[in-house]
Amino acid sequence: MTPENFIATKASEAINSLYNKHVDAASLQVQVTRKEFEGDYTLVVFSLSRFSGSTPENTGKAIGEWMSSNVPEISAFNVAKGFLNLSFSNVYWNGLFSEIVSDANFGNLPSTGRKIMIEFSSPNTNKPLHLGHIRNNLLGDSVSKLLRACGNNVITSTLVNDRGVHICKSMLAWEKVGNGETPESSGKKGDHLVGDYYVAFNDIYKKEVESLIAGGMPEDEAEKNAPSLLEAHRMLVAWEHNDKQVRDLWAKMNSWVLKGFDETYKALGISFDKTYFESRTYLLGKELVRKGLDMGVFVKDPDGSVWCDLTDDGLDRKLLLRGDGTSVYITQDLGTAEKRFSEYNLDEHVYVVGDEQNYHFQVLKLILKKLGFPWADNIYHLSYGMVELPDGKMKSREGTVVDADDLIEQMYETAKETSLESGKLEDMSDEDKEKLYHMIGLGALKYFIIKVDPKKTMLFNPKESIDFNGNTGPFIQYTHARIMSILRKADEKGISRDLSCLKSDLPLTQKETRLIKLLNSYPSKVAEAGEALSPALIANFAYDLAKEFNQYYHETPILKESFPDLLSGRLILIDTVASVLRRAMGILGIGLPDRM
């Protein structure tokens, strides 16, 4: 029972006893006491004067006196106008803490029976993953874990965008200037190698545009008629017509990229339940286009292109098929959505995609509605802000990106340097040190990105992220390691942590009460974060809990306590703090070390 429900239930009993009136506890208003007043929770008593026939102040005083006399969990009260502020006694806090400790699934909400698919990552096979992809992957992974903690059946998926003009651009550049280069011959990861040729295509294209403009062609025409761009479009048409030479080159270069992606995903600790490939789903979208034409939802222009006119809906005309018969991005999204809902009987589908695609998903949902799919309203776009750097935005085609692999390695090196400077790892094996460096580096990266509300654009600063003080992953990891160190010392001294010590009259300090309050708020924080699809709320809860523990640690010499039950109770308290930190940070995909 939540503290609010407890207060409401006892207040209902008080009203019945004092005024012989039955009041449904659910109808009573209970809230956390405002900071400027003394108390834990406040009962709003304005509307209760009708039962007493007296003022709100007198009514609040009468209810407060009854509760302090008849409810051992209430230690004190005060009335401020129409508000009854109530303070809980140690009896209440000890009982609440015993409930937390005895709940093996604490923080995991009851099953909802809902089936939700989360799509994230969804990379293009013409370049490696970069910092922007990292935010997408970390957000998608943590939202998936969060929704599972909220009792949902979650399926993680990714759609690999492995076809299209952008893919053909890398292929064409490799044919023109690659000289047969492979990952093996170059010593490069396959996704990096192919990404180099995407940049190379852009260099070729820009020179062609400049040449056409110099020859007198208007800039907008030059950008559309550059020979390399036209050649890339012809290559896409050949691909869609199963040209063997084009398909073989496509399969070879894609295999290089996919192998590289797998290495990056492994380094990030991310996996998917289901992987879709655009090359296998785009035909499903084409079939829906034919269906839409038959329904009169779509129209075909004289050049053979197919459109959906959304002007009456306040939008514009949306291209679905080009005049040459090739599909565009939204075409495969239509087909893939239908496949997923029919394949998994989903209750909801969440797309984790940057906010530059807000319009795309608005259009996708509207077109699916026009096609008559009842589940169209169950599609949700988790729109997130871009990641920026101190020196500006990133552009893949110009090669000005922060590569994901390089960033992961940089975080590892920074974690290693910082840890060695601490001088606390001398007795650890080299293998354990390596694991620790990776855990700290990855934890710093994940936490720094996830702690920011998804909707906000964020500035990423690697050095700031790995600070062992402040709102960072390493600070929380170090807090956990500190707790585990105390527990190890207690074990070495043979100090018991038997739950029988948790008695209702066990004395508690103000800091211990504060820790129990924070621990008890964890399930509601999970629910709140799940509703908002914001793991940032979990990240900041973990920071608040770690910060509160550290204040308690500095004020309380835990192992020097001479009263056995109180010593054991304090050890159980900090052990529970460590457990809840692991659960919270686990939702973020962050591991907590036992030593640092």
User: What's the rounded Cα separation, in Å, for the pair 558 and 503?
Assistant: 18
Q: For position 400, what pLDDT does the model report?
A: 53
Q: Which two tokens stand for residue 592?
A: 């907590």
Structure-token match 């023109």, residue found: 176
Q: For position 227, what pLDDT does the model report?
A: 97
User: What's the rounded Cα separation, in Å, for the pair 514 and 549?
Assistant: 9
Is pLDDT at 65 greater than 70 in this prediction?
yes
Helix (H) or strand (E) holding 30: strand 30-32
User: Phi and psi for 162 in degrees, rounded to 5?
Assistant: -110, 15
Is pLDDT at 2 greater than 90 in this prediction?
no
- Sign of the alpha-carbon dihedral angle for 284, 286, 289, 290: negative
Is pLDDT at 448 greater than 50 in this prediction?
yes
From 250, 206, 260, select the one nearest 403 (Cα to Cα).
Answer: 260
pLDDT band at 562 (very low <50, low <70, confident <90, very high): confident
Q: Which two tokens stand for residue 136?
A: 């997408």
pLDDT tens figures, 451-482: 999 989 888 777 777 777 889 999 999 999 99
Is pLDDT at 4 greater than 60 in this prediction?
yes
Strand 153-160 relative to strand 274-277: parallel, antiparallel, unpaired?
A: parallel
Q: Which two tokens stand for residue 537?
A: 């709320």
Q: Which two tokens stand for residue 18?
A: 């004092």
From 554, 548, 477, select the one nearest 518 (Cα to Cα).
Answer: 548
Over residues 409-415, the mean pLDDT reads 89
pLDDT tens figures, 169-178: 999 999 999 9
Q: Do residues 10 and 74 touch, judged by C-beta distance below 8 A?
A: yes
Alpha-carbon distance values, 553 to 262, 556, 561 (Å) = 42, 5, 13
User: What's the rounded Cα separation, in Å, for the pair 310 and 313?
Assistant: 5
Three-state DSSP at 508 gives coil
From 416, 298, 428, 301, select the one nearest 368 (Cα to Cα).
Answer: 298
Please identify, in words, the CATH class of the domain defined by 3-88: alpha beta
Q: For position 391, what pLDDT does the model report?
A: 61
Q: Do residues 199 and 399 touch, judged by C-beta distance below 8 A?
A: yes
Q: For position 396, what pLDDT does the model report?
A: 43
pLDDT tens figures, 67-88: 999 999 999 999 998 999 999 9
HEC string of 70-120 equals: HCCCEEEEEEECCEEEEEECHHHHHHHHHHHHHCCCCCCCCCCCCEEEEEC
CATH 3.90.930.60 fits 120-398, yes or no: no
What amino acid is encoded at 27 in this protein?
A: S
HEC string of 410-422 equals: HHHHHHHHHHHHH
User: Phi and psi for 123 in degrees, rounded to 5?
Assistant: -80, 165
pTM listed for this prediction: 0.90
From 391, 368, 389, select the one nearest 378 (Cα to Cα).
Answer: 368
- Name the residue with higher pLDDT: 470 or 483: 483
Three-state DSSP at 419 gives helix
HEC string of 392-445 equals: ECCEHHHCECCEHHHHHHHHHHHHHHHHHHHCCCCCCCHHHHHHHHHHHHHHHH
From 590, 472, 461, 479, select the one nearest 540 (Cα to Cα).
Answer: 472
Domain residues of the chain, as ranges? 3-88, 120-398, 404-587
pLDDT tens figures, 177-225: 999 999 999 999 999 999 999 999 999 999 999 999 999 999 999 999 9
Selected from 1.20.1070.10, 3.40.630.10, 3.40.50.150, 1.10.730.10, the CATH number assigned to the domain covering 404-587 reads 1.10.730.10
Helix (H) or strand (E) holding 562: none
Neighbours of 394 (CB within 10 A): 18
Alpha-carbon distance values, 300 to 202, 304, 371 (Å) = 32, 6, 16
User: What's the rounded Cα separation, in Å, for the pair 446 and 515?
Assistant: 25
Q: For position 571, what pLDDT does the model report?
A: 96
pLDDT tens figures, 241-280: 999 999 999 999 999 999 999 999 999 999 999 999 999 8
Neighbours of 496 (CB within 10 A): 15
Comparing 152-156, 410-414, 440-444, 574-578, which segment has the lowest mean pLDDT?
Answer: 410-414
- Sign of the alpha-carbon dihedral angle for 461, 467, 471, 477: positive
User: Phi and psi for 412 in degrees, rounded to 5?
Assistant: -60, -45
Three-state DSSP at 502 gives coil
